[in-house]
Amino acid sequence: MYEGLRPPELPREITREEAMSAYQPFIEQGITNPDNLDLDNSAVQEANELYYKWQAQEESKVSDDPEFDHQTNLAKTMFYVDAGFNDPGYLRDVLEWLSLDADDVEKQPDNPGRVEMRNQIATAIRKIRLLLENARGDKS
């Protein structure tokens, strides 16, 4: 009676790395700011679609854990930086966003998750500052 019926396929999970790698061809072409991507280009549209699917997938993961929410937010904030976009103006914007995130993650020394999140944000800030220093060094 139920022969031939299959359960519906669940959408496959998109990894952050997979979504980031879709932008690699543009970075190799010398595009350093995601705002400079040609939105009429079908390859850009496909990369953006993958990013939006990954982002929606991450946002759909329900959690009562504020640390999980902070972790997801950090992954989204650092997405284009980790993908390889390194325009100094864009990096300064991300640095500002991270500073706001750091303010949102209040200090709770007795909360190991919160301490770890603050450490991860600090590491991201150091990464961006290093990228900015390297960008200044390339221009001299």
Domain that holds residue 95: 16-138
pTM (two decimals): 0.83
Tokens 């496959």 label which residue? 12
The answer as to whether 2 is a domain residue is no
Is residue 11 assigned to a domain?
no
Q: Residue type at 85?
A: F
* Separation CA 36–CA 95 (nearest Å): 19
Instruction: Say what percent of the chain tops pLDDT 70.
Output: 87
What's the maximum distance between 2 C-alpha atoms anywhere in the chain? 75
Looking at the structure of the chain, the number of domains it has is 1
Q: Please check whether residue 25 lies inside any domain of the structure.
A: yes
User: Does 40 reside within a domain?
Assistant: yes
Has residue 32 been placed in a domain? yes
Does a structural domain hold residue 8? no
* Assigned domain for 5 exists: no
What is the per-residue pLDDT across 62-75, written as a single tens digit (0 to 9) for each? Answer: 677 777 888 889 99
Is the residue at 9 inside a domain? no
Contact 77, 97 (CB under 8 A): yes
The tokens for 140 are: 């001299």
Q: In the prediction, which pLDDT does 9 show? A: 63
State how far the Cα of 114 lies from the Cα of 88, in Å rounded to an integer: 29
